[in-house]
Amino acid sequence: MTIKKILIIGLILTGSIAAMAEDTPKSYYNPVTSGVPSLTISPDARAGGMGDVGAATEPDINSQYWNPAKYANINSVAGVSLSYTPWLRKIVKDIDLAYLAGYYKIGNLQAVSMSLRYFSLGSINLTDNEGNPMGTGKPNEFSIDVAYSRQLSKYFSMAVAMRYIYSGLGMKDDNYSPGHAFGADIAMYSGIPIALPMGTSLLGIGLNWSNISTKISYDKRNTEIFLPANLRLGVSYVLPFDAYNKLSFNFDINKTLVPAYPQSANYEGGATGEAYLAAKEKYEKMSSFVAMFYSFADAYDNPAYTKKEAFMDELREVNWCTGLEYAYNNQFFARFGYSNESKWKGNRKYFTFGAGFKLTAFQLDVGYVLGLAQTTPLDQTLRFSLSFDVDGLKDLVDLGSKKDK
């Protein structure tokens, strides 16, 4: 296997680029692709059990990925969580994602938080263009970020996160170098309590503009690739039935802020035509900041589309997901969700199921994915999260001290 083929396979595995049927109209099928797509993998089991929603759900320890502005509204002083997600488990056994997140409250209005994610693609046997063995490569990607969140009013908070991103494809080639990039998130959250006869409900509204970043390169900046900048908007409503039972309804819409790569089949003259070469050059030279805004209208530059088709194509790039969470006494949790992506943009559609158990000091969550299409890489996958609450640990220590006395 050549190094180029290894690179292509790696991008397919991590980006979940769908292999659609041959009769798919080329003018419609055009998934949005980017570098370091592991940044888009949902890391924790709670959100993973609710269809991958999280922009406006109740604040928890893993809010760093979904919306760090929620930390300013969390009740405990500090917490830490460790999550594990297998990837493409039906195909290979050594691709997985590990995720560590934590936060610390500064007074009642502020919080600092951080997370570390590590994505391993296992081991790959490398060969040169003639098929000669070149040893074993171990591709991996990781990112580390820190965030600061603050309540700006009674029911509104904002956060800013900074991120370092590394991507190593494990190749042995003089023209190859690992990719490095920097990114940022801007997040907002509003949690509005509403008094009801059976208790206080909570209306949550959240927005997270994530991975506002530089491009990444694997060939010493000869070519550069967009990272998966993303805009997520969500709404959540927590409805109590009595003092012990409550149900939350959650809904997110999600837009990847990366333009689709031009398709040569849609341009007169094909891959060698002047129009296609000009569109390709425009795409490759575009800055990340300009590309985020251009991604809302890039379909209008496709010569194969009418204005109506271009509008519909932009709508197809908006994914949505929804999830339910039932909680009993804030200790036992049952979850269900659904995530939807257009068949022309990747066709990742799946149901999710989850459960959680919480004691004073820790919480264990499990999520399961049931794919509805072959293009769902997490199909039949379990993921796990184990969280620790500092206030709960203090309560256990105090209880132990009282018993000793």
* 317-333 pLDDT, tens digit each: 999 999 999 999 999 99
* 34-73 pLDDT, tens digit each: 889 889 989 999 999 999 999 999 999 999 999 999 999 9
Q: Is residue 177 a contact partner of residue 208, using CB atoms and an 8 Å limit?
A: no
Q: Would 298 be classed as within a structural domain?
A: no
Lowest-pLDDT range of 36-50, 134-148, 273-287: 134-148
Region label for 330, one of left (φ > 0), alpha (ψ between -120 and 50) or beta (otherwise): left
Q: Would 279 be classed as within a structural domain?
A: no
* 339/324 Cα distance (integer angstroms): 12
Q: Would 286 be classed as within a structural domain?
A: no
Q: What percent of the chain has pLDDT over 90?
A: 58
pTM exceeds cut of 0.75: yes
* 154/387 Cα distance (integer angstroms): 27
Q: Would 302 be classed as within a structural domain?
A: no
pLDDT (0 to 100) of residue 180: 92
Within a 10 A sphere around the Cβ of 94, how many other Cβ atoms?
A: 14
- Tokens (6 digits) for 345: 């943009």
Measured in whole angstroms, the distance separating CA 140 from the mean position of its chain's CA atoms is 17
User: Mean pLDDT throughout 204-220?
Assistant: 92
User: Mean pLDDT throughout 282-295?
Assistant: 93
- The rounded mean pLDDT for the chain is 86
Q: Would 307 be classed as within a structural domain?
A: no
Q: Would 297 be classed as within a structural domain?
A: no
DSSP secondary structure letter of residue 225: B
CB-neighbour burial class of residue 391 (10 A; exposed 0-12, middle 13-18, buried 19+): middle
The CATH number of the domain where 243 resides is what? Answer: 2.40.160.40
* 78-131 pLDDT, tens digit each: 999 999 988 766 666 778 899 999 999 999 999 999 999 999 887 776 665 556
Beta strands in 18-132 (DSSP E): 78-86, 96-106, 110-120, 124-127
Q: Would 284 be classed as within a structural domain?
A: no
User: Mean pLDDT throughout 166-173?
Assistant: 76
CA atoms within 13 A on the CB side of 368: 9
Q: Is residue 287 a contact partner of residue 258, using CB atoms and an 8 Å limit?
A: no
Q: Which residues contact 38 (CB under 8 A, 6 or more apart)?
A: 14, 97, 117, 119, 141
Domain count, the chain: 1
Residue among 69, 144, 50 at smallest CA distance from 110: 69
Domain that holds residue 24: 3-260+317-404
User: Mean pLDDT throughout 250-268?
Assistant: 91
SS3 assignment, position 300: helix
Q: Which residues contact 12 (CB under 8 A, 6 or more apart)?
A: none
Q: Would 123 be classed as within a structural domain?
A: yes
pLDDT (0 to 100) of residue 4: 42
CB-neighbour burial class of residue 397 (10 A; exposed 0-12, middle 13-18, buried 19+): exposed
